Structure 1
Amino acid sequence: MDIPAPADPPERTRAARRAPGEVRDLLLDSARELFSAHGYANTSTKRIAEQAGVAEALLFRHFGSKAQLFREAVVEPLIEVLQGYAEEWLNVGPHEVEQPTHAFVKTFFDTLSDRRGFALALTAADNYTDDVVEDAGATLADVLRAIEGVVKQEEELNGYRGLNIPATTRVGVGSVLATAMFRSWIFGSDATDIADDRITNDLEQLLIHGVRHRAAPDRTA
């Protein structure tokens, strides 16, 4: 008598046997896609787990909460780019005056353009959950302080005058952030002749000349 081959195990059983690292990666990939497409409020943990092909309980085992999953899937990839920039330029040797601004604009703009859905999901989350906003805000504050260090270093090296370091840093970050996130709104969906390089070059020039040619503050006022 022929002995029938054993039936394939159910999908959930197979998923449960995956390595922990593989499960995390599947959940992060699923979360990034769904948060970017539908926003924080309209994406449930059940839907993320189903798309990843794992049990919802495993999502909470690995991340603890939807807010923590959002942080790791959406917030941290953007923060890491800015942190990496700050660490590089706080330890760089002699350089041309334009180089830090060029590196910042190019790196941040390209990252946001590639992950526009992440940034839009982050801003949309601002309307729905204090946990996400407070957590992302605290993380962003840390990295902004690191970038302030780069601005201060450039101020001292190049003799810039009249800078409010915190404000200058945030205006620079905000300018690149808004331009990358709302590119199609600002330039129009038909403005295909405006290349990214042209946009980043104009951003660089605005930031460089806005800092370099600022008048010294009036100390007598």
Structure 2
Amino acid sequence: MIGSEPVGKRRNVRRAPDEVRALALKAAHRLFSAQGYHATTTRQIADEAGVGESVIFRHFGSKAELFETTILTPFGEFVDEWVTTWDARTTATADLVHITETFVKGFFNLADEHQELLRTLVAARIDRSDPGLTEVAARVGGKLAGHLGLVRRSLLEHGEARHFRSLDAPVSVAMAVGSVLSLVLIDDWLFAPDQRRPGKTRQIREATQMLLYGVTGSAAPRSH
């Protein structure tokens, strides 16, 4: 029946390049997450997106480069939006807890959504049996670190606006991001099998407190 097929499956519909890229990235994310990188083919991604396989190569070059874009795009967009939203020049009086929590929560949710892709990258750096994927993993690591440089710069600007007595932005951001990645990717190392896992909200709250009071040098208020 005409019109009953999902838009992503209708190859005879001419789409704008941005729409094609978005469909391909969405399909790639779902398949990479569900099946793993090596078990997913560009043909499957093309079929899922409703485009020809040649379109995938035209837009992304290779499966490894598509994987790279799939993981980098959302993290880059998140960092850019966060830095713009919390520009220290216009938010110097904003609630610091809220500013910090939006970063921790946003990064936590992104890492959780893309955890299988992140695990693939970590494994590629160790295994190195797939040179193309290993190269992509190294590039992704460098670009993610570059994005976090924007967060470090923003943190320094907020520190100057609030006259923090001491601030080591590179270490503070690394500690926050490292903690979140550990909570998401190796949680089975951090919590005993017979221990009830803390909920996401609780983990985000505690990671926020750790970053916030580590940055300001203040003692967290104690409950009585």
Interval of TM-score (by shorter of Structure 1 and Structure 2): 0.7 to 0.9
**Contact 1:90 / 1:149 at 8 angstroms: preserved in 2?**
no
**Contact 1:82 / 1:143 at 8 angstroms: preserved in 2?**
yes
What's the counterpart of residue 98 of structure 2?
99
- One-letter code aligned to 2:106: T
What's the counterpart of residue 86 of structure 1?
83
Structure 2 vs 1, CA of residues 191 and 34 (structure 1 numbering), >3 Å: closer, same or farther? farther
Q: List alignment gaps of at least 5 residues for structure 2.
A: 1-8, 219-224
What's the counterpart of residue 204 of structure 2?
200
Q: For structure 1, which segment, 122-131 or 90-99, has the greater mean C-alpha deviation from structure 2 after superposition?
A: 122-131
- Tell me the TM-score normalised to structure 1 length: 0.75
Structure 2 vs 1, CA of residues 89 and 194 (structure 1 numbering), >3 Å: closer, same or farther? same
In structure 1, C-alpha distance between the alignment counterparts of 2:159 and 2:86, rounded to whole Å: 13
* CA apart distance, 1:69: 1.3
* CA apart distance, 1:196: 1.6
SS of equivalent to 1:98 = helix
Aligned identity (percent) is 32
Pick one of 71, 78, 86 that aligns with 2:68. 71
* CA apart distance, 1:72: 2.6
Output the aligned Cα RMSD. 2.9
**Contact 1:39 / 1:124 at 8 angstroms: preserved in 2?**
no
* CA apart distance, 1:175: 1.2
What's the counterpart of residue 18 of structure 1?
13
What's the counterpart of residue 26 of structure 2?
29
Structure 2 vs 1, CA of residues 65 and 193 (structure 1 numbering), >3 Å: closer, same or farther? closer
* CA apart distance, 1:80: 1.3
* CA apart distance, 1:192: 6.1
- Tell me the TM-score normalised to structure 2 length: 0.74
Structure 2 vs 1, CA of residues 163 and 124 (structure 1 numbering), >3 Å: closer, same or farther? same
- One-letter code aligned to 2:70: A
Structure 2 vs 1, CA of residues 69 and 193 (structure 1 numbering), >3 Å: closer, same or farther? closer
Structure 2 vs 1, CA of residues 161 and 149 (structure 1 numbering), >3 Å: closer, same or farther? same
Q: List alignment gaps of at least 5 residues for structure 1.
A: 1-13, 215-221
SS of equivalent to 1:43 = coil
* CA apart distance, 1:16: 4.5
**Contact 1:27 / 1:59 at 8 angstroms: preserved in 2?**
yes
* CA apart distance, 1:146: 0.6
Structure 2 vs 1, CA of residues 158 and 43 (structure 1 numbering), >3 Å: closer, same or farther? same
SS of equivalent to 1:90 = coil
**Contact 1:74 / 1:122 at 8 angstroms: preserved in 2?**
no
Structure 2 vs 1, CA of residues 189 and 26 (structure 1 numbering), >3 Å: closer, same or farther? farther
How many residue pairs match? The answer is 201
Q: For structure 1, which segment, 101-110 or 134-143, has the greater mean C-alpha deviation from structure 2 after superposition?
A: 134-143
